Each structure stands twice: as structure tokens, then as C-alpha cells.
Amino acid sequence: MYSFSAPFARLVWALSPIPAPPEGIMMQSLYSNVYHVLSVQKAYPRDDIQADIVLWLLWRLWKNRNEFLFKGKEYEARSILKRAEEDAEEWQRKQQAEVSEAERLGVKRPMITNHVSSWTPPPTNWLKCNSDGSWHKDKATSGLRWICRDENGHVIWAGARSVIKATSPILAEAEALKWGAETMASFGYNNIIFESDLLALVRMINGSEEVWPVLQPTIEVIRSTLSHIQKFDVRFSLRGENKAADRIAKESFTFVSSIPKLYSIVPVWLKYQVRSDNTMYQKNVGE
């Protein structure tokens, strides 16, 4: 057994499949080491490395540090690596299950409706906030966006920002929902329905699915923020019901700065999609 120390952490990384920096195994500063492991995929694009395990190793090292400090528990380096590998495998299985669930919903929906899915307004005296996060393996940034509308389809607030690339698509989705919830809560709004087209994220926020370690901090903030809203609901929506947020995403990729942008007046580039959502809803209701 080993006590939890810097040499012990270096041993864990030495046993892992992550390439060491040119100067040696984690012999640089803390920030340099963190930057190295988080950018390993970009640094070794042609090598067959298991970059997905990085976040799980960081999580396990942090968790086991706390258990050593507060509970006196000690772990072998190989045990930590094995647990991180199991975490990564479980995450991959859940991602595959999520895709299968989405495909299942996509197949079954035409059987219960004969019109294209579209945004629907919230009940009277409620607001609906649709969020979305954009992530692309070839882009250095991620986009966060959300749009909040009332029962008449009028835009109350919308937000768009470009941030340093999230470590995964689901984390970008979670950060977008978190930002929308934080903004609406800080403005004092109540009676809000939050919608995301990522089913696993919705289930984790609602407590019907175990929270993935990589999302734990973000979801804790989301839950804390929601507790300050008098009435709220977090729901899953099909991608066709989230087109306005998606339109904001396309625009956010053109931003030259990371300064968050809030809109209380619908920008010109978003007006068409907002009108289209309202028209489509009225058409579907009339059918």
C-alpha cells in the first residue's frame, strides 16, 4: 500500500496508458501536468492512446485523496488505475445506451403523431427554457446557448457564448443548461420548464439515473440553482423541438470573443426561427 502523495500520483500516471511529457513523468508544475493530460489527444493525434481515461483518473485520484485524508484509507496504484478503466468502460456503455434510447424514441414517435415535432409553449404563467451545447472534435471551443419563452412564444431572454472546449458533448450540454438556470434564477423568475434534448442528462438531474463522475460538479450546481426557483421542471425534448437553441449555436460559432451575450430583444438572425416555431405549433394544433 502507498500513502497518498505526489510520488504516488506519478506512479499511477506511469502505470496508465497516457504518454509522459518530454521532461519526464509529471515532473513539471501542477498546471503544466494538468494541461498535458487534458490535451494528450491533440498532442498525439496519430497514436492509439486511451485519452478517454484521463478524466476518470483525475476523478479517482481526487476521490481517493479525500478518502485518505478524511478516512485514512489507502489504495494501491494499480487499483486506482483499474477503477478508472472500469469508470471509462461504464461511461462508454451508458453513451451507447443513450444513443440506442434516442434511436428508439426517434423510431416510435411517428407511430404516435403524424406531424413533425416542434417546439410547444409552456402552460399559462409558466416559462420554457430550451438549452443546447455544441461540441466538435475539430473545434477549439464549445458553444453554450439557451432561449426562454412564455406561453405566447415571446422570447423573454436568450443567451449565447463561446467557451474553451468542453471535455465531452454531454458536459457542454450540462453547462448550457446550468448557465440558463443560473441566469433565470438570478433574475428572479419562477415557474420554469427546462428542456434538453439529452435524455441521460435530464435523468441525472432528476435523480432517476446515477450521475456520472465527470458531471457531478456541474449537476450539483444545477440542482442548487434550481432549488432557488419556486416551481420548476426539467424535461427531455426531441431535437426537433429545440431548433431555436440550435440556431443560436450556429451563430455562437461566429463570435470572436468569449464574452457572454444576453438578448432580451430577439436578434435579427433569430427572428425567423422563433416565428417558424410559433407557426409550426399553431399548424400542429390545428391539425
* 55 contacts 167 by C-beta, under 8 angstroms: yes
b or e along 121-160 (b: 16 or more beta carbons within 10 Å of the residue's beta carbon)?
bbeeebbbbbbbbbbeeeeebbbbbbbbbeeebebbbbbb
| pLDDT, mean of residues 252-281 | 77
Other beta carbons within 10 Å of 80: 24
Taking the C-alpha atoms of residue 283 and residue 209, their distance in angstroms, rounded to an integer, is: 36
Mean pLDDT of the 53-67 span: 75
- Least-confidence region, from 22-31, 140-149, 263-272: 22-31
Its sign, for the CA torsion 48, 52, 58, 64, is: negative
Q: Is the pLDDT of residue 182 over 90?
A: yes
Q: What is the per-residue pLDDT for 109? A: 41
- Residue 155 belongs to what H/E stretch? strand 155-164
- What is the per-residue pLDDT across 189-217, written as a single tens digit (0 to 9) for each? 999 999 998 888 999 999 998 888 888 99
DSSP state of 171: H
Domains of the chain: 6-88 (no CATH), 127-286 (3.30.420.10)
**Mean pLDDT for the chain?**
76
Closest CA to 40 of 52, 30, 28, 25: 52
- Pick the more confident residue, 111 or 229: 229
On the question of pLDDT at 96 being above 80, the answer is: no
